[in-house]
A and B are shown apart, each in its own frame.
Chain A
Amino acid sequence: QSVLTQPPSASGTPGQRVTISCSGSSSNIGSNPVAWYQQLPGAAPKLLMFGNDQRPSGVPDRFSGSKSGTSVSLAISGLQSEDEADYYCAAWDGSVWVFGGGTKLTVL
């Protein structure tokens, strides 16, 4: 059982906008910035978003993040086939780093 809660799956067609949610509590998302990671099949995770809504250099602006209270969301607009991957949210919870269970995004 993960500390942060994500839907196990999401899907969309090319060009569509999809949103992945991540909910937590006051001790993690409520008081710390959230990061998102993209894990392509067979690859190591890659930082996709930090500080709730900041994109690292090289991440397309099709990806955006938002936060409200103890929940965050990752939105992907103009969905592309190469976006098919697992997505994880994560944040500090006291002195431990916690992850969501991951969301498998399928591009139909």
Chain B
Amino acid sequence: QVQLVESGGGVVQPGRSLRLYCGGSGFTFSSFGMHWIRQAPGKGLEWMAFIWPDGSIKHFAKSVKDRFTISRDNSKNTVYLQLNSLRAEDTAVYYCARDGANRDVDYWGLGTLVTVSS
């Protein structure tokens, strides 16, 4: 079965950086685009970034495109989200999710919590 497992979250000071990881299993990882989506405490879902299956094309939300970077290593079945210049408002659970075959996002991980605080 499809599984996505995020890691790398934690408490980080404002202005610092953090790298999130998402490992995929149960499917041919290199054949699927991958997303990162976040959810601030008590708030709704906010899409962050998307990367094509081969990593050649990336899309970002306007709110983070100058600070966050998405990448992937298909040999390790892993997608990454590099968070730079973190702010308090970046505090959220970060989910990775698989791009589905029907122009949707079909599978989600359980998320990893990032807390930006001094």
Contact = CB atoms under 8 A, between A and B. Distances in A.
A86 B45 CA distance: 10
Contacts of A39: 45
A32 B111 contact: no
Interface stretch (A16-24, A45-53, A66-74): A45-53
Given A32-B103, A88-B44, A99-B45, A44 B35 contact: no
Contact of A99 (B46, B50, B100, B103): B46
Contacts of B27: none
B interface: dominant SS: strand
A33 interface: yes
B103 A54 contact: no
A107 to B, nearest CB: 20
Interface in A36-85: 37, 39, 44-47, 50-51, 54, 56
6 contacts: A33-B104, A44-B95, A44-B111, A51-B102, A96-B47, A100-B44
